[in-house]
Every structure is written in C-alpha cells, then in structure tokens.
Structure 1
Amino acid sequence: MLKQFFILCSGADNEILEGCSQGEQTKYAGIGATVFFTAVMAFIASAYALFTVFDSVYPALLFGLVWSLLIFNLDRFIVSTIRKRDKFGSEFLQATPRIILAIIIAIVISKPLEIKIFEKEINTVLLKEKNAMALENKKEVANYFKSDLDKNKAEIASLKSDISKKEKEVNTLYETYITEAEGTKGTLKLGKGPVFKEKIAKHNLASAQLDTIRKNNLEKIAEKEKTAAVLQADLDKKVTETQPIIDGFDGLMARINALNKLPSLPSFFIMLLFLAIETSPIIAKLLSPKGEYDFKLEDLETALKATLEQDKYQRNLLVKTSAMMHDKVYEDIAQDKSLYDLQRKKATELLELQATNFVEKQKSTL
C-alpha cells in the first residue's frame, strides 16, 4: 500500500510500471518518497514562517498545507515530465527551471527554521536592540519635553534666586545695625544712636520686602512645580505608551535582521541543506539510470507519434485526392451541352421577368 502511494507520488504511469521488474518499481517508489517528504518539509517550514507572522496556529497550518500541496504538485509534475535521454545535458536543461525555483524556495523556507534553530541567539540580539531603542525613545521623548521643562526649571530657579538675594540683603543689614549698636563698626560708638535707628529702619523695610517676595515667589514656585510634575507625568506617560511598541519588536523581519547579524556560516549550511532537500526529487530522477519503464514509455510515445503522423498524412492525402476528383467532375459537367442549354433557358426567363417587373413599377409612378 505504501509502495503504491509513493509510486503515485512519483507521477509514473502505474499500468506501464506494473509490467516492469520489482527493482524498477522500487526505484520509482523511492523517487515518489523523495517528492512526498520534500512536500512535508515545505509544510513544516512554511507553517512555522506564517506562525511567526500571524501568531495563530490555524492560518499557519492552512497556508502550510496549501504551500506543501503546491510544492508536491510542482515536483510531481516536473519529475513525471523529465524524459530519460541519451545525453545528460538535455535532461539537465529540462530540469533547469525547477532547479532555479528550488534555489529560491530553499532560501525562502530555510530562514524561518534558521530563526527557530538560533532562537536564543536571536533573542539576545533583539534584547540589546530593544534596550537601545528604549534608551533612544526616552531620549527623544525627553527632548520633546525638554524646552518646557528647562523653561519651568529656569523660572523656579529665578524665583528662588530672588528670595536668596533678598535674604542676603536682609542678613547684611542685620549685621550692619548690630555692629553699629555694639560700636565695632560704623560710627564706632556704643549704643543706639541716630545712625543705629536709620540702619535698623532699612533692615526692617528690607525684611518686610523679603516677606512679600517670599510669599509671592513661593506661590509661583508651587505653581511651577505643579506644572513640572504634570510635564514629567506626560513624559513618563509617553514613554509608557511607546514601550509596548518596542517590546513587540520581534516580528519576522526583525528576527531575520537579527539573524543576519549572527555568523553567516551556520545559516549558509542550513540553506544548503534545504537546497539539497528541494532539489532532491529532480536530482533523484536525473541520477537514476534509464530503465525498463523508460524504454516502455519511449516505445509507447514513439508508437503514438508514428500513428499520429500516419493519420495526418492519410488525411492530407484524402483531402488532396477528393479535391482532384471534384475538379474533374465539375470539368466534365461544364462540357455537357444539354445542361448548358437548360441553364441558358432559365437565365433568359429570369431576365424577362425582371424587365417586365421594372416596366410595371415605372408605370405606377407616372
């Protein structure tokens, strides 16, 4: 049963193959098995490739089945249509389009399995890229809010600086009137004289101004700090919103790019393996010697071709002979005097009727 199935996969004519030896049947069963398992590998590779794209099993399996059936039908068709000839070059020329297609298919379907084989290494590369992207994203978002944040910080610093300057001024005035009272500086007179009263008045005025500035600026600083908190919250929110996009940066194209950053030699050998698998049905047919089945098939094809050529020649000869006979018959008829007289009489009667009918129409118009 399994042997018959593989023979069916090979595309060989079962009626011809039944009359061949067991060795010949085994050869074509082997070719059919190669065609079948190539389709199985195509199913596995394409299904995994689509799974990495859609993240869903059912579409991946459906597309993988369609793809494997396409490859199976294509391989079966090409293997069955390659005819064993006396020269290997002509056979290879027949298989050249399929070999080119096999190279393309091998490159395409080997990538998904390479991604699976080197999954850990690819994840490491992707992790580094994601971290770099996250840092770059934070930098770009921070640059977007930088002008507003810097302006807000500068305004807060300016308000605090005004308070600090006024505090220094008040402290300086305080030291001035204290030293005046102690007689260590200023007039160098101990006690609270007119100069002392003048200096303490300046201090009290500056202290009152400090209280006013501190009150107003602290209110403004509180508002600016609220604005800064809002800006920082917006910045953090923007970073949080964009982070899932970076986290999801692990699709098929990203993994292929990550794979290309790994050493190329292992990927090259895997691609060669799939190339060998894809071309194996064609290579199996090309390398197989011309056997009993090929001779019988060639005999049937040449016999059919000879029959068709003979039928075509007979039909052409029949048309030519029939034309010659009809030419001779009509030539003999043209020389018959009685037939000529009858045709002349009928033509005369027809002309007379036409003339009479014309005269009647002319009279009716007068």
Structure 2
Amino acid sequence: MIKQFFLLCSGVDQDLIKDCSNGEQNKYAGIGATVFFTALMAIIACSYALYTVFDNIYSSIFFGLLWGLLIFNLDRFIVSTIKKRDSKRQEILQVIPRLLLAMIIAVVISKPLELKIFEKEINQVLLEEKNQMTLNNKTQIAQQFTPEIQQLNSEITTLKEEITDKENDVNALYETYIAEAEGRKGTKLLGKGPVYKEKREKHDAALKELSELKAANAEKIKDKEASIVKLTEQQKVAETKTQPIISNFDGLMARVNTLNKLPWLPSFFIFLLFLAIETAPIFAKLISSKSEYDYKLENQESLVKTWIQQQVHQREAILQTDIDLNDKIYSDLKTEEEIYNYKQKMARNLLKLQADSFYKNQQKIL
C-alpha cells in the first residue's frame, strides 16, 4: 500500500511499473518518497511562515497545505518529465531547467525552516533591536516636547529668581533701618528718629511688593508647572501609542533580515540540505543507467509514435487518391456533349433572367 502510494508520487506509469521487477519498483518508490516528504516539509515551512504573518493557526495550515500541494505537483512534474536518452548531453540539457526550478523550490522551502530553527537567536537579536528602537523612539518623541518644557522651566526659574532678588532687597532694607535704630549705620544716632521712620517705610513698601510678587509669581509658576505636567503626559501617551508598533516588529521580513545578520554558514548548510533533498530525484534519474521501466516506456512511446505516423500517412494517401479520382472524373466529364448542352441551356436561361431583371429596374428608375 505504501509502495503504491510512493509510486504514485513518483509520477511513473502505473501500468508499466507494475510489470517491472521489484528492484525497479523500489527505485521509483524511493523517488516518490523523496517527492512526498519534500512536499511535507514545504507544508510545515509555509505554515510557519504564514503564522508569523497572520498569527492565525487555521489559515496558516490551510494555505500551507495549498502550498505543499503545489510543491508536490511541481516536483512530481519535474521527476516524471525526465526521460533517459541515448546521449548524456541530451539528458543534461533537459535536466538544467529542472535543476534551476528545483533550486528555487529549495530556497523557498528552506528559508522558513531556517527561521524556525534559529528562532531563539533571531528573538535575541530582535529584542536588542526593539530595545534600541524604543530608546530611539523616546528620544525622537522627547525632541518634540523637550524644547517647550525647557522653556517653561526656564520661565519658572526666572520667576523664582525675581522673588529671590526682591527678598534680598527687602532684607537689605530691613538691615538698614535696624542698623539706623541701633546707631550702627546712617546717622549713628541711637533711637527711632525721622531717618529710621523713612527707612522703615521703604522696607514696609518693599515687603508689600514682595508679598504681591510672591502671590503673582506663585500663580504663574503653578500654571507653568501644570503645562509641564500636561506636556509630560502627552509625551507618555505618544510613547504608549507608538510602542505597540515596535513590539510587533517581528514579522516575516524582520525575521528574514535578522537571519541575514546571523553567521551565514549554518544557514547555508541547511539550504544545501534542502537543495540536496529537492534535487536528489533528478540526479538519481540522471546518473542511473537505462533500466527496465525506461525501455518499456520508450517502447510504448515508440508504438504510439509509429501508430500516429501510420494514421497520418494513411489519411494523406486517402486524400491523394480522392484528389486523383476527382481529377480523372472531371477530366472525363469535360468531353461529354450532353453535359455541354445542358450547361449551355442553363447559361442561356440565366442570361435571359438577368436581362429581364435589368429591364424592370430601368423602368422603375424612369
């Protein structure tokens, strides 16, 4: 049962192969098994590749099966169309385009499986790239908000410095009128004289201005700090919105690009493995000698070719015979008086009818 299935996969003529020896059947069953397992690997490879794209196991398996059937059909076609020739040069010429197609199929099958085999290494590289992308993203977003935040902080600092400068002025006035009262500076008269009162009034006025400045600047500082908080929240929202894009940066193209950044030698050997599997049936038929099945197939094709040639030749002979007979018959008829007189009579009647018709048409016109 299994042998029959693999023989079906190999694309051989079932009627011819069943009359061949057991060894011949085993050879083509092995070729069919290679075709089948190549298609099976294609299903796995395509399903995994599509799963990384659609993230849906059912659709991935469905399209993977379709892809596997396509690969199976192509491989079966490639193997079944390779025929043994009397000349090795002819065999090589017919194999070259099939080898090119097999190489393309090997690349398509091997690449998704390489992605799966090196998945851990790819994930590590992708994680590093995502982290770097996250830092770059935060830097780019910060560049949009940082200038405005820095401007607001600078304005807050200026407002606080105004208060500090005013406090220093008030403290200086306080020290002046206290020193005047104690007689350490100014008039150096102990007691609260007119000069003391004047300096005390200046201090009180400055203290009132300081109080008003604190209240006004405090309100301004509060508004600017609220603006900074709002800008900071907007920056965090922008980072939150863009982060999923970075987190999902692990699609098929990203993984293929990451695979190319890894050491090439292991990937190359995996490709060679699948190339060897894909081209094994082709080389098996190329290097093998002409066997029992090949002779039977050649004999069957020769029978069909001969029969077709016979049919074509026979139809050509019938056609030529018919042409010769017709030529002879019409040649004999040309000399018969009865046929001549009859055709003359018919021609005379036709001319009369034409003349009558012309006459009637002319009457209508006039």
Question: Which bracket does the TM-score occupy, shorter chain normalised?
Answer: over 0.9
* Structure 2 letter corresponding to 1:298: E
* Structure 1 letter corresponding to 2:225: E
**Structure 1 residue aligned with 2:351:** 351
2:73 aligned with 1:73 = yes
**Structure 1 residue aligned with 2:331:** 331
**Structure 2 residue aligned with 1:236:** 236
**Aligned partners of 1:353 and 1:176: how far apart in 2?**
148
**Structure 1 residue aligned with 2:132:** 132
**Structure 2 residue aligned with 1:86:** 86
**Superposed displacement of residue 67, structure 1:** 0.8
**Superposed displacement of residue 123, structure 1:** 1.4
**Structure 1 residue aligned with 2:296:** 296
Structure 2 regions of 5+ residues with no counterpart?
A: none
Cα RMSD after superposing both structures: 1.9
Tell me if structure 1 keeps the 8 A contact 2:6–2:33.
yes
CA deviation profile, 1:223-242 (whole Å, cap 9, x unmatched): 21112111111111211222
Counterparts in 2 of 1:191 and 1:258: CA distance versus 1, 3 Å:
same
**Aligned partners of 1:184 and 1:58: how far apart in 2?**
96
Tell me if structure 1 keeps the 8 A contact 2:41–2:109.
no
* Structure 1 letter corresponding to 2:122: I
**Aligned partners of 2:199 and 2:305: how far apart in 1?**
131
Structure 1 regions of 5+ residues with no counterpart?
A: none
**Aligned partners of 1:340 and 1:316: how far apart in 2?**
34
User: What aligned pairs does 1:1-366 form with structure 2 within 5 A after superposition?
Assistant: 1-355=1-355
**Superposed displacement of residue 354, structure 1:** 4.5
**Aligned partners of 2:248 and 2:359: how far apart in 1?**
99
Counterparts in 2 of 1:79 and 1:161: CA distance versus 1, 3 Å:
same
CA deviation profile, 1:158-208 (whole Å, cap 9, x unmatched): 211111110010111111222222222333333323322222221111111
* Structure 1 letter corresponding to 2:283: I
Partner secondary structure for residue 138 of structure 1: helix
**Superposed displacement of residue 286, structure 1:** 1.9
* Structure 2 letter corresponding to 1:139: T
**Aligned partners of 1:42 and 1:360: how far apart in 2?**
84
**Aligned partners of 1:120 and 1:71: how far apart in 2?**
28
**Aligned partners of 1:244 and 1:359: how far apart in 2?**
96
Counterparts in 2 of 1:170 and 1:319: CA distance versus 1, 3 Å:
same
**Aligned partners of 2:126 and 2:290: how far apart in 1?**
53
**Aligned partners of 2:41 and 2:66: how far apart in 1?**
13
Tell me if structure 1 keeps the 8 A contact 2:71–2:105.
no
**Aligned partners of 2:263 and 2:42: how far apart in 1?**
25
Tell me if structure 1 keeps the 8 A contact 2:7–2:25.
yes
**Aligned partners of 2:125 and 2:353: how far apart in 1?**
104
TM-score by length of 2: 0.94
Counterparts in 2 of 1:44 and 1:180: CA distance versus 1, 3 Å:
same
**Aligned partners of 2:158 and 2:304: how far apart in 1?**
104
* Structure 1 letter corresponding to 2:127: L
Partner secondary structure for residue 128 of structure 2: helix
The more displaced of 131-140 and 190-199 is: 190-199
Tell me if structure 1 keeps the 8 A contact 2:122–2:255.
yes
TM-score by length of 1: 0.94
The more displaced of 237-246 and 200-209 is: 237-246
Tell me if structure 1 keeps the 8 A contact 2:47–2:64.
yes
**Aligned partners of 2:69 and 2:356: how far apart in 1?**
81
**Aligned partners of 2:66 and 2:92: how far apart in 1?**
28
CA deviation profile, 1:14-65 (whole Å, cap 9, x unmatched): 1111221111111111111111111111111111111111111111111111
Tell me if structure 1 keeps the 8 A contact 2:82–2:94.
yes
Matched-pair identity in %: 57
**Aligned partners of 1:58 and 1:351: how far apart in 2?**
84
**Aligned partners of 1:363 and 1:210: how far apart in 2?**
129
Counterparts in 2 of 1:123 and 1:200: CA distance versus 1, 3 Å:
same
* Structure 1 letter corresponding to 2:137: N
* Structure 1 letter corresponding to 2:224: K
**Aligned partners of 1:10 and 1:281: how far apart in 2?**
9
**Aligned partners of 2:361 and 2:199: how far apart in 1?**
146
**Aligned partners of 2:348 and 2:167: how far apart in 1?**
143
Counterparts in 2 of 1:71 and 1:202: CA distance versus 1, 3 Å:
same
Partner secondary structure for residue 20 of structure 1: coil
